[in-house]
Each structure stands twice: as structure tokens, then as C-alpha cells.
Amino acid sequence: MAFEDPRGVPLTAASAESVRAYEEALDRILAFAGDPVGALDRLTERDPACVQAHLAKAAIHAWALHPSFVGRAREALDLARKAGPLLDHERRQAAAVEAWLDGRYADAGREFDALLAAQPRHLTALFFAHQADFFAGRTGALEARPRRTLEALTADRPGRSFVLGMWAFGLEENGRFAEAEEAGREAVAAAPHDVWAIHAVGHVLEETGRSAEGIRWYGERERDWAENSYFAVHNAWHLALYHLDREETGAVLAVYDRFLTPGRRSILLNLCDGAALLWRLHLAGLAVGDRWESLAEAFAAKYRPGCHVFDDVHAMFAFVGAGETAKATRLMADLAAIAEGVDDRALQVRRAGLPVCRAIAAFGRSDWRSAVDLLSGLGADGLLMTGSRAQRDILELTLIEAAIRAGDRSLARDLLERRLQRKPESRRIRRDLRRLAA
């Protein structure tokens, strides 16, 4: 039977109760809270005809970006199709997930474009399209998609503030910091547990170098982002970045030990945050004890090359940081083979993943000049590493440190002075400028 969700989007299900249960699961998806897969499992058990629940499960597993979830994503797609006949938007969601699993990121984006043009208030599709845009490096779409949905969604419709949070992040990634901060703060005021909106404001504070405010922003609402959320590790990573900028090393390590230490439940993206933080400490010449070793071990257990370029690069940081030269060399050989492919995943590896990994390896063997050349040569392809501005900033930070150590003072000074304009309060930048002047 066809029902409608609270925003007027048609849903196939056996009962109105399933529509209500799906809305609850969707709230968890949008808030990165609790266990949305568990909620969807219970729903499909009671109502196998609820196509949207199968599709959401498929999407969650597909955007987990890990080979061990691919089978579960395809299984959920099969169940959705068997529960059919599918509505047009359901068919397009299935096609988008399938394209993503095949590494055809542009095709996935096109399916979402068509779906959202017909159903702009489809919040599940918007959420996963937003994630897809993020992991495919489509910066413009991060802003445009949520904006179009906001235009179609009146203020009284449930879920609107989550869209505002997505829009805030999109604005931030497109450098529109003041508008991003305003939208993000409005979203957090409407839904304090919206960790994506908390994160969007966190990004603005990072990009504009307002680290004291950032520490306050996260400190004041720790219960909202740090508890019952599988996005907590990434928000903690942002908190650690502010402390790093203020050269508060003890606080950085305390955040790492509390939130980022690899554990049984760590997902790959958590390990990436850990590597990104330890590498920044490494660049600053700070010792991190045996943290690299346990992180590299966790990567070796969970990571497989070529699933997503962002993971490839961060696995490389971990292997080089831990001095695991053999693993680092093997990874580069695997990536060189993957780069020969023809899909969008291969393109990301060819143009960004491989040169970045080679630069990390060069940095690891103190070949500062090669690291400088490889990172300077990236140009706009650096975007294909994907991730946010703050995550890709690790490329510039590595370039600056390599330039200083290579004796390329004019390049280092140029980069640092431009950074200081963006982040005038930064202690870290001023220290590096003093090193150059010495």
C-alpha cells in the first residue's frame, strides 16, 4: 500500500504504523544517533513490504565505505526489489546505492539529482546524497542540495532543522562562513542533538581560527554530541584541533585517549580521525608514545585498499607514522594497481590518493624536497582526496612542514602568512613563522 510520510513523500508499506516507525528510524539517521540499523531491522521484520526501510539499510551499509558491509548493502537492495513494485523514487534510490557500490560515483549523484528534483522533500535521499557528495568531493552540491530542499519544505514540516544543518555544512565547505554559522546555530537551537549542525558550526570556528570559541562551543554541549552518537569521535577530533592550534598538547592527547583510541567498535572513519590527529602532532615534532603502533594495528585489521581514497591516505599516515615501511610500500603498490581502473574510485586514487601517499612516504624518509614537489603538484586534484576543508588541510600542513625542513623558506612563509590571515589568533602559525625568522 502507498502511504505518505509527514513531508508528503509517498512510502510503500503494509501499515501506517510502519510509516511512524520509519520516521523514528529516520530521526536517528539524521541525528547520527543510537542504532538506526537495529530500528530498521525491527521494522522490516514486522513489515517486509516497507521498501524504504530496506533501502535505508542498503544506503547505511553502502556509505559505511567498508568492504565488509558491501554484501549487507546488496542483500538489503535485493529485499527492497523483491518487496516491490517500486515507486519511482524507490527505484532511483536503489540505483544510486548500486552505482555507489560499483564505484560509479557520478552515476550515483545523477540518480539522486533526478530523485530530488521530483521529490525535494525526501529527507532520506537528501541525507545519503549529502554524504555521497561529501565522499565524492562534490563541494558545490553540498550547499545546493539542502538549499533546494529547504525551499520546498515549510517551517512546520518535521525534520526541517536537519536540512538547515546540512545546508550550514555546505555553506561552510564553500567558504561562506558567516551564513554557515548563522544557519548552523539556528539548526542547533531547534534540535540540540543535531550533531551534524554542531559540527558545521565547529567547522566555521576551525576555518576562521576561533579556537577558544571552538573549545567553548563543544564544551557547552558535550552531552549533545559526545553521548549516544556514532559521530562523537569526529566531533572530538574537531575539539582536539582547537587545542592543537593553541599548542595545548596535553589537552590534545587527553581528547585522543578519551575518544579516538582505537577499540573494538571503531569504524574506519574513526581510525582516519586518529591518524589525522597523530600526524598533525608528528608534524609539530611532538612525541605520541605508542599510539601510532596501536593505530597502525587497527588499520591493518580493518582496512582494505581501494575502498575509498580518504581511507587509503589515512592508512598511509598510520603506517608511516608507526614506521611500518613494508605495509606502506605494499599499500602504494596496491594503489598503483587500483589506479589503472576506469571507475570514479580509480580516478580519485590516480589523481590524489597515489601522489599524496607518495608524499607521505617521502616525508617519512625525510625526503623533504620530494614531499614538497608532490604536494605542490597536486593543485585542484587535492580535492579528490575528498573529506572536508579541515580534513584536507593536512595536505597544506604537511607541505608547510616539508618546505621548512627542505629550506624552502619563501614557499613556507607564503603559505604561513596566508594562513595567518585566515586564522589571526593561531599560536601554531606564529611559532612556525618565528622558526623561519630564526
- Residues lying near Fe ion in the complex (CB under 5 A): 388
Tell me whether residue 145 is exposed, middle or buried, using C-beta atoms within 10 angstroms of its C-beta: 0 to 12, 13 to 18, 19 or more. buried
The minimum distance between CB 233 and Fe ion, in angstroms, equals: 11
Q: Alpha carbon of 159 to those of 29, 89, 97, 127, 187: distances in Å?
A: 11, 19, 23, 11, 10
Contact between 200 and 167 (Cβ < 8 Å): no
The minimum distance between CB 265 and Fe ion, in angstroms, equals: 20
Q: Which is nearer to Fe ion, 47 or 173 (CB)?
A: 173
Q: Residue type at 355?
A: P
Q: Beta-carbon neighbour count of residue 387 at 10 Å?
A: 22
The minimum distance between CB 388 and Fe ion, in angstroms, equals: 5
The minimum distance between CB 131 and Fe ion, in angstroms, equals: 13
Q: Alpha carbon of 376 to those of 18, 42, 84, 276, 422: distances in Å?
A: 53, 51, 51, 19, 20
Q: Which is nearer to Fe ion, 266 or 388 (CB)?
A: 388
Question: CB within 8 A of 228, min separation 6: which ones?
Answer: 33, 34
Q: Which is nearer to Fe ion, 18 or 388 (CB)?
A: 388
The minimum distance between CB 339 and Fe ion, in angstroms, equals: 27
The DSSP call for residue 350 is I
Closest by CA position to 290, among listed 321, 264, 248, 252: 321
The minimum distance between CB 387 and Fe ion, in angstroms, equals: 8
Q: Which is nearer to Fe ion, 12 or 388 (CB)?
A: 388
Residue nearest to Fe ion as judged by C-beta position: 388
Q: Which is nearer to Fe ion, 139 or 388 (CB)?
A: 388
Q: Which is nearer to Fe ion, 22 or 237 (CB)?
A: 237
Q: Which is nearer to Fe ion, 11 or 241 (CB)?
A: 241
| End-to-end CA gap in the chain | 74
Q: Is the peptide bond before 120 cis (omega within 30 degrees of 0)?
A: no
Gap between the Cα atoms of 154 and 160, Å rounded: 8
The minimum distance between CB 204 and Fe ion, in angstroms, equals: 11
